[in-house]
Structure 1
């Protein structure tokens, strides 16, 4: 129902407005000749306009760019700032570590680490925790451990899952139903099918076929897919995953990095899941690089009893800056004072209001779209009904329509996650902020379908 010529005209207009509003960001991008792709990380080039917005300051869910424009930030660092930008307890804890206590990285433990481990155990149920600087690293180290302890070589993923830049995870179900490299995969060390197996999300039979090969060390999953839209599990799916992994001798790793939005203990707690390993990152550090993985007591004991595994020095598990006093102090402050059980209640209620309002706009304009919610996180997709696996969700992508919406919303002071239409609520996101998003979305949609 989208008039493509009208879409192109509106996008051109919004791009012109974007350029007029942001001359300093445009100049900064043009002058960035010493950066690969002109940005600190090449994914910052995922932008609807001709250049990325440069940030001047950020507090809570407000961002001010280099040109002085203020935005309501629903991207929140693609979950990394789920606590809000620079939450006061984290700033205070980091300040104490730097200015009063000293020692940002020392290769020595602090007592904060045990507090964080105990709190993560309360929330996610795992017994023994180890720290990383990113969830990507935590996933890599967890994969090494499960391969070592099972003696099996392959990891099973869901098609279009998201586990950072872990090599093994960049596998999708191809047109022939078999595993293949995810399109655009950069510099794979080996063909991905040598390290990995893949099944569609919500496909119990497909999962069982892959496990039946007997070479899967672990199934590494997001409880809901989150980087290709929010693809929710169908009733009974997680029970089947746990049953099948046990029947086929595979371990279960749950990556809660994005699904932490489901509640204080992520989907693991909210849905009473029973993993062997939990991985989490981004949000738990309140903006300071942080990640962690937790093991069941039984698995931790099995690993520690293996005298042939070098998990202390150069065996491939760990990093010099992981578990640093600075990172651990930030994690403690975030979990103890910001992303609390009470905060999640408010954030989820706010996200429910966001979801309900978007659903009303979709119905008002009879759009063939849909929206899913995962706790404090919601995302609309250009399909109805909402896709139930990653391949169908990927097929529902519409880059031109997405660019228009992102540009038009940014010009009206609203930021969504640049990779997709994800909106996340932090503790300071208000119902008025949600209403502002809805007003802007209604305006840009009305012009599109007029």
Structure 2
């Protein structure tokens, strides 16, 4: 229903507006030296703007640029700051720890408390700390292969589990292929990584009953290819089939911790054998954790006892450093609370109602996907059931134009598809402003 020429014209106009409104960010992009392509990490260039907004500071639910623009932030560091930028308890704890040492390679009293806090929140008794969720997923895959003696893992088409080579397999026209975007890929992943479509119970049963899958690594609902919800009963069947075939079920809840207190599996079930959480668990301080059942812990301990001394290939020097422990201790103790989630879910419900109103006003064949504090605007009437369907309905030209239009009016969405996160400090006015500006953009595009 939206004319492609209208999208092009709006984008060209919004690019000009962005350049005019951000002279310091533009000058920064032109003058910076020493960084490859002008940025400290390449995906900073993935925003829809002609050059990145240069951040000056962020607090609560807003971000301020070096050009003095204040943005309502619904990206929140792509989940890393999902509980708000620099919450006061976190800032205070980090400042105190900075004067007491940052990395000891030794346990602390605070760390002992954190282990119990993680167990209480997520319902799994044993935990380990890593520096990133990518590192946690990589470690978990190794543990699962080690304790089962099986080489293969199973993932869902379109998944994202960080920078873990093993998961870079896609289905294209129903055929598994090594994902071509993986730089420097030299190993064929297909012999050890099985990819199937999400919500396909028959394919899942067929793959697991071969008896050679060490683990299923999955999000309880897919979040990185748009949002793909689990079909009724799918996760229950996933849990049952894993039990039937002695396959370890791993939930990567780095994104789906937005579903509610304790993550999606605690809110809606079923429970995994191993659970991974990163990014927001430390409020943006680099850290991640993985927790597991007592049964898994015993198998891990037996494997450890049976192997020769030496490097395990799991963990780094900075894993469980004092700053990361302090950050998580402050977040779980004072920021990531049931009260925080109550506000987040309330504001998300308001945002969903507003977005549905915009869709209805313009009679668009779109829908809003919504779980907890995570909201997705999908340019399709029918919710996608799997990664292939989600990929097919993405409209990069339209999505990036809307993102740029909103950024020019002080609203940041995540640069990848139409994902919006609501924090414990997101305000009613911010939610209403997002919906109103989206409505203005669509009114113009559909004129």
Report the alpha carbon displacement of residue 118 of structure 1 after superposing the two structures with TM. Answer: 1.4
**Which residue in the other structure is 1:375 paired with?**
372
Distance 1:335 1:222 in 2: 22
Matched with 1:233 is: 230
- The TM-score, its normalising length taken from structure 2, stands at 0.98
1:77 counterpart residue number: 77
Deviation, structure 1 residue 178: 2.7
1:340 to 315, 337, 341: 337
For 1:427, the equivalent position in structure 2 comes to 424
Deviations 1:143-199 (A, max 9, x none): 100000000011100111111111111112221x23212342222241121220011
- C-alpha contact 2:220 2:230 (8 A) present in aligned 1: yes
Out of 92, 105, 108, the residue aligned to residue 106 of structure 2 is 108
The 5 Å alignment of 1:88-237 reads 88-99=88-99, 102-175=100-173, 177-237=174-234
User: Which ranges in structure 1 are unaligned for 5 or more consecutive residues?
Assistant: none
Using the alignment, how far apart are the partners of 1:80 and 1:309 within structure 2?
Answer: 36
2:13 aligned with 1:13? yes
Residues 363/88 of structure 1: CA separation in 2 closer, same or farther (3 Å cut): same
The superposition leaves residues 355-387 of structure 1 with CA deviations (integer Å, 9 ceiling, x where unpaired) of 111011011101122111110110111111121
For the residues of structure 1 that align with 2:157 and 2:166, how far apart are their CA atoms? Answer: 12
1:26 corresponds in structure 2 to 26
Structure 1 residues 67 and 313 mapped into 2: Cα distance closer, same or farther (>3 Å)?
Answer: farther
Instruction: Report the CA distance between 1:313 and its aligned residue.
Output: 4.9
The equivalent residue for 1:55 is 55
Structure 2: any 5+ residue segments left out of the alignment? none
Superposition RMSD on alpha carbons, in Å? 1.2
Q: Which moved more, 1:107-116 or 1:429-438?
A: 107-116
| Counterpart for residue 259 of structure 2 | 262
State how far apart, in whole Å, the 2-side matches of 1:107 and 1:50 are: 43
Q: How does 1:391-430 map to 2 (within 5 A)?
A: 391-430=388-427
CA contact (8 A) 2:196 2:204 kept: yes
Report the Cα offset of residue 341 of structure 1.
Answer: 1.1
- The CA deviation at 1:305 is 2.0
Aligned residue-pair number: 446
Deviations 1:75-120 (A, max 9, x none): 0011000111111000001111112xx1100101112222222122
Mapped partners of 1:163, 1:390: distance in 2:
14
CA contact (8 A) 2:396 2:417 kept: no
Q: Residues of 1 paired with 2:44 and 2:126: CA distance?
A: 35
Q: Distance in 1 between matches of 2:180 and 2:345?
A: 34
Question: Is the Cα contact below 8 Å between 1:161 and 1:390 reproduced in 2?
Answer: yes
Give SS of 2:71's match.
strand
- Deviation, structure 1 residue 27: 1.2
Given that 1:230 and 1:374 are in contact with CA atoms closer than 8 Å, whether structure 2 keeps it comes out as no
Is 2:362 aligned against 1:365? Answer: yes
TM-score w.r.t. the length of structure 1 is: 0.97
Q: CA deviation at 1:402?
A: 1.0
Q: What is the aligned counterpart of 2:294 among 294, 297, 302?
A: 297
